[in-house]
Structure 1
């Protein structure tokens, strides 16, 4: 019976001769199961040079944490042979088929850890696996580095570039995404022009060519514009709609706050009864699209449009800029887009609203990229969405002390790496759940 059990676990562990399970010990008090694995061969090939039939010099005892069997913590133990080679003269340890060299975990256990870290904070995943978080972090960084080394970036033509914060104190990383494949290509600490030089070097290392990048979508960062000019010489810069409208929203909020600060009494008098509630509805109504207004916000915005407040002019300017983008998109004409934007900038300069006058000057300074962003249909909306997910991951992890850990998690979750270990919980053959529908 014992031989049958050992043969069963030999098959379950996927071992092939000369490796086999020699002994199984179950300790129900400690909720632990231990497998003694043996190597029955007398000779083996040299791991260093490959010469066959070399004598086994000695054996070194090693242990590895494995996936749980049922509710029991599982461990593999083996006397791993070392071969003394007559060809190269080296004494080298044989590799084991269930773990990579130097690791205290089996390959399947590490694969489970990676799959959990894709969904959970590393500390939480480590708690579920009952291991130290530092040990899991080392596996994440190792496998991400190995998978990225095999990544192919030869087809990258359109990139979106942005920064996202690592922690307080103005610590940022630059992220570069492939807008076509919607995946993270590169991330590094900092947000200056040198980060794009580092991206160009990384692109070459993965089969890409910086000179073949045709399009780069960025915010109005002078540092990124400089970096693109130096490191991506063929890329056309466009400033996407998201950032331009965000600047208009910021200008509108500045006008509203200044008006509330300097003319609060007059504004409340103009609003009339229940002014506090109405002003709160205006705060959110001015920021939201009209289709998303609540009834209270609709009524507050209806009042605003009939008022003579500066906030009303600011809101109209912001809405008009959105209409400019819509008109440019529908026409798909450089002349129409440039003409509509020029008219809007003229209106903004004559509005007597300082934030919008500054915005008009900014758009004029970056006019070519803004118009290009109106027409090419590409934007950093995906990049911003991924940044939002990264910030959620940071909040769930209660921050990252090491920026390299933050970058490793970004690669693990957003790079669509093809050479990571597959989760052991994924079935080898997809199940057909359709045939069970009649049961429900």
Structure 2
């Protein structure tokens, strides 16, 4: 029995004065329990002031859920000592080496939770581990907050800002990405000017400086523009080409919806005009080939949109892009299509931000990709009960947090070992 106890003492990673004193196995309940004790006469450091070699005052019985042993749930039980410090006079419970203070789970169990939640929904993780989802969320929130507290934002120079839906209806969170490191820096509820202020405060809390942010890539939201101008005054605003083309697509669709009443050929052709040509089906390509050569207003609108896309994606230097955009602007203002005349004025009002893209070469493509990851996680979980939970998952899957607990089941390459 002593050999068995020594084996499990080593398996649990315990060191003196801690050791396994008893093992209880219930095959019917599929459960194994480990009793842990400390060597009689042991002394501990005071958790309050750090004074060494304090005598044990009394003990308190505690239990923690541990990683499964094979298919069996495992629990650790210990009479945890309290010390009455001779230096500070406080009576404080000693911290055990296998669990963080206040937790009902071992650190290895919590590390497994973090690992699984990066790939699975919280509910599935809870079901797999045999616990409720509320304890899983408490573990996630604790470790995500602790890991973020150690993040360094001092090298942040370029930031992408966008919103993503948090739940049905007009409910959004704003996300901020470091466009150089492709990591989520900050997320908060809402999509107004104050979200930029909240980001700047968080940036300073992590060693960053708002004056060091040289460029910000956003859509044409008035709230974001005002927020950047107020809270990031040194940053050059770049308007993402994707959002500019999106506005052009909206103008095309507005023309099509007005014309379809008179032109039956336009029925059920919405995506023919809006989709990228590389994603068209053969049928859509055939329709586009025919319709784009007609005298339809929608065809003219589509040609305007495609010309704008070509300028934004194919122009080289800023001067070349400005010449091309000026020509496009003149065409759009004379095209006799009201949606495009309005679009031309919108682009003129945001002219410098559009041209800045040809200097900074920034795009919100990485932010859109991150938003896609977030929406996949949201769909996997079938939504989140609170916005705080959603934001925690955002940091977990997109924050590239370097201070999270490592997986307890890290793999080792056999050839490297050999």
TM-score (norm 1): 0.92
1:44 partner SS = coil
Q: Which ranges in structure 2 are unaligned for 5 or more consecutive residues?
A: none
Q: Which of 274, 290, 300 is the matching residue for 1:287?
A: 274
Structural mapping, 1:20-419, within 5 Å: 20-42=19-41, 43-260=43-260, 262-263=261-262, 267-268=263-264, 271=265, 279-280=267-268, 282-328=269-315, 331-332=316-317, 334-419=318-403
Instruction: Quote the residue 1:275 is aligned against.
Output: none
The superposition leaves residues 59-109 of structure 1 with CA deviations (integer Å, 9 ceiling, x where unpaired) of: 100000000001110000001111112221111111100000000000000
Gap change, CA 1:38 and 1:434, over 3 Å in 2: closer
Distance in 1, Cα, partners of 2:407 & 2:417: 24
Relative to 1, partners in 2 of residues 1:50 and 1:325: Cα closer, same or farther, differing over 3 Å? closer
C-alpha separation in 2, matches of 1:433 and 1:319: 53
| Alpha-carbon distance change, 433 to 288 in structure 1, aligned in 2, over 3 angstroms | farther
> Contact 2:215–2:360 (CA<8 Å) still a contact in 1?
no
Superposed displacement of residue 324, structure 1: 1.1
SS at match of 1:54: coil
Kindly state the Cα deviation for residue 279 of structure 1 after the two structures are TM-superposed: 4.4
Q: How many angstroms does 1:288 deviate by? A: 2.7
Unmatched 5+ stretches in structure 1? 272-277, 436-440
- SS of the residue 1:303 aligns to: helix
Residues 308-366 of structure 1: per-residue CA shift (max 9 Å, x gap): 211111111111111212342xx31x222111111111211222222111111110000
Structure 1 CA distance for aligned equivalents of residues 165 and 13 of structure 2: 44
Q: Distance in 2 between matches of 1:53 and 1:305?
A: 85
**In terms of mean alpha carbon deviation, does 116-125 or 72-81 score higher?**
116-125
- SS in structure 1 of the partner of residue 102 of structure 2: coil
In 1, the alpha carbon distance for the partners of 2:300 and 2:414 equals 59
What is the CA–CA distance in structure 1 between the aligned matches of 2:306 and 2:199, rounded to whole Å?
37
**Length, aligned pairs only:** 417
Of the three residues 404, 408, 430, the one matched with 2:413 is 430
What is the DSSP-based 3-state SS (H/G/I as helix, E as strand, rest coil) of the residue aligned with 1:176? strand
